Structure 1
Amino acid sequence: MSALATWDILETSVIGYGKGLNQDSVRTGGTGAATDPVVLAVADGHGSASYPRSDIGARFAAELFAAKGREFGALVRTGRLPWLRDYARYELPEQLVRDWQARVWAHWGRQPGPEGADAPREEVLRLYGSTLVGAVLAPGLFVAWQLGDGDLTVVDPDGRVRLPLAPERAELGDETASLCLPEAWHLVRVHWEPLPEPARAPRLVALSTDGLSKSFASDAGFTEFTSGLYARLASRGLPGIEDDVPRWLEAASRHSGDDTTLALALRAEDGGAGRDGGVAGADPREAWARAPEPARPWGPGAETEAEADPTSDLSDPPSSLSNPGPNLSDPLSERSDPTGGTRNDDEETERP
């Protein structure tokens, strides 16, 4: 099986505007080699008084996926893909959910709350509720998993941006699938993408909690941001954006009100910028500001135009850099799993 190019990794997480605790968690690692697969994981604790330990739940989720992802990457071999595909779709999601729930229950046993150590198991699990998005990049294979809201964004060699795990239908309100739900593994979405030719591998794979996408008035605005982000990465490499990304996420957080986390893997190109940097290019925020809103590259309803957002006149937070986009505003609704769920309402309950 052909080898993938080396990947450069960046992770950033910022606390929600006006909040006292970041309930997101992120874990990354690896280079994409056969013995060192790239593993990316972001988890979003639900927040609010109903989920007082969701920051711990998010940390457990990201840590467990990082470990399971490395194990999964080590299994990738020529001839194993049919078996591995079934493992990715069925067994691994169940293992993740069961292991997360077991770890939460053990934590409660060591540090019970006012409800006592013998509180009903389902009620205890709910206190730690979290979503999860994870990805593995190994030689010849790209696989990703998602439970609940958040986004997996991919930039292909031709520059096309796609969201392969986006649900076909958005949920109403703030409901989202969660690791705390009984048999939550049935709600996990899986993206399976063999890469027999290295040249066809994605150029950028980005995972983010919904604090980022919710700061846009439409899905198309979020897609355009990813396109601009990749343009700058391609010209300057990770050193060219490392100082800017936290400021962009802080600006997004001001508008979404939520913790905002981004983990990305950039494919290192021969002769490209990579970790050693490159020539300076146009700031992606400028292209984002000028570009028209394109149709969504995924799912039904791509022709539906977004309604005007009444919060578009919100001022930008103070920063020595300009906001990553003008009139950054709240979206009309969240995207999340369309079946069953819990409330993910950090922005409604954590503001002063």
Structure 2
Amino acid sequence: MVTLGVRRWETLAESVQGVGKKRNQDWFTCQGSGSGEDPLLLAVADGHGSAAHARSEIGARIAVDRFVGRAELFARAALDCHEPGRLARLMTYARDDFPRALVQDWREAALRHWDRHRPVADAGTPEPRQSEKLLLYGTTLIGAVLTPWLFVAWQIGDGDLAVVEHDGTLTRPLAPAEEDLGDETESLCGREAWSAVRMHWAPVFDQARTPRLVVLSTDGLSKSFASADGYRQFVAGLDDRLASEGTEGVRDVLPQWLEQASKYSGDDTTLAAALRHMSTVTGGPPDVPSDIPSDVSRDTPTDILPDTPTDTPPMDTERKTET
């Protein structure tokens, strides 16, 4: 049986400002233990930072905050996903409705920030269109939820989700079929941003096959390498160091690694990672259905979560969160 209350993951995270940048446009969070009652939530966001996105560091903070609010509700619903068919409905929600709700939350929060912090305009200057306001806050986002029986992640825009499986296999499950060219990327400020959100869905039917390492990073890290192989080698090396030294040993040197990467990429560089506690992967598999299809009809009911969160925590603009 699965013990729900134990800490299942250790986390480490760091963010460094790009060389020559006026401010760090990235934001991140790591919170929760990964138990049933306290799911692990990881997220990194990368504000675009150009003149057209003058408030993108705020947009990145909003993105992480609103992801946490939605992810907490999602994880609460996942606690009760053991009934036949319920996990399939949860998958449909995660694929179709979660992105729409998240984008809507982000837009509403960004527009409220605009209303509170309107720039002084010359007399007769027309009010910017809503799309122009949102453009100022443009950001990418990668977020993940890990419970004892479910691993789900979402991504819009660039950056990387890397997963080291139980057997050492390294995958990038949300990598696009074609990499973005130059500095172009999808964004939460896009007209139909929800349609650009990619999802990774991975129920855990055997605790021994739980991924041993999950890494989220902004593109300042992957751009520091000449090829995707360089990034993969970095993650593999991180996995080796964590296996031999644990999170405390790596935590001390992680800022130096990211600073070095930032020098090569010239960009803000952020990494948030979760290392599985090997001692928690014991006993039998969780009590979840074993006949979940790999895909489900878009007509599957999706009313398992409310349309809007009623208890989303206020945005924390003072600090990044790490456990």
| TM-score normalised to structure 1 length | 0.75
Aligned residues: 272
Distance 1:231 1:105, change over 3 A: same
Of 42, 45, 52, 1:43 maps to: 45
What is the alpha-carbon distance in structure 1 between the residues aligned to residue 236 and residue 16 of structure 2?
21
Distance apart, 1:113 and its partner CA = 2.2
Q: Deviations over 1:109-128 (max 9, x none)?
A: 11112457932100000000
**Aligned position for 2:119:** 113
Work out whether 1:184 is the aligned partner of 2:193: yes
Aligned 8 A contact 1:149 1:177 in 2: yes
Work out whether 1:15 is the aligned partner of 2:17: yes
Distance 1:108 1:266, change over 3 A: same
What is the alpha-carbon distance in structure 2 between the residues aligned to residue 208 and residue 259 of structure 1?
11
SS in 2 for 1:170: coil
**Aligned position for 1:95:** 101
Distance apart, 1:269 and its partner CA = 1.2
Aligned 8 A contact 2:158 2:180 in 1: no
Aligned 8 A contact 1:151 1:165 in 2: yes
- One-letter code aligned to 1:109: D
Q: Deviations over 1:19-68 (max 9, x none)?
A: 12000000110111110000000000000111110000000001111121
Higher relative contact order (CA closer than 8 Å, sequence separation 6+): 2
What is the alpha-carbon distance in structure 2 between the residues aligned to residue 2 and residue 93 of structure 1?
30
Distance apart, 1:9 and its partner CA = 1.0
Of 243, 246, 249, 1:240 maps to: 249
SS in 2 for 1:175: coil
Q: Deviations over 1:172-226 (max 9, x none)?
A: 2211000001120000000000101111110000100000000000001100110
Q: Which runs of 5+ in 2 are unaligned?
A: 282-323
**Aligned position for 2:274:** 265
What is the alpha-carbon distance in structure 1 between the residues aligned to residue 192 and residue 53 of structure 2?
19
The 5-angstrom pairing of residues 219-238 of structure 1 reads: 219-238=228-247
SS in 1 for 2:82: coil
What is the alpha-carbon distance in structure 2 between the residues aligned to residue 98 and residue 117 of structure 1?
25
- One-letter code aligned to 2:51: A
Structure 1 ranges of 4+ moved more than 6 A: none
The 5-angstrom pairing of residues 163-174 of structure 1 reads: 163-174=172-183
Aligned 8 A contact 1:150 1:208 in 2: yes
**Percent identity at matched positions?**
52
What is the alpha-carbon distance in structure 1 between the residues aligned to residue 266 and residue 228 of structure 2?
18
Aligned 8 A contact 2:75 2:147 in 1: yes
What is the alpha-carbon distance in structure 1 between the residues aligned to residue 47 and residue 135 of structure 2?
11
What is the alpha-carbon distance in structure 2 between the residues aligned to residue 260 and residue 117 of structure 1?
37
Work out whether 1:78 is the aligned partner of 2:82: yes
SS in 1 for 2:279: coil
What is the alpha-carbon distance in structure 2 between the residues aligned to residue 250 and residue 71 of structure 1?
35
What is the alpha-carbon distance in structure 2 between the residues aligned to residue 146 and residue 24 of structure 1?
15
Distance apart, 1:74 and its partner CA = 1.4
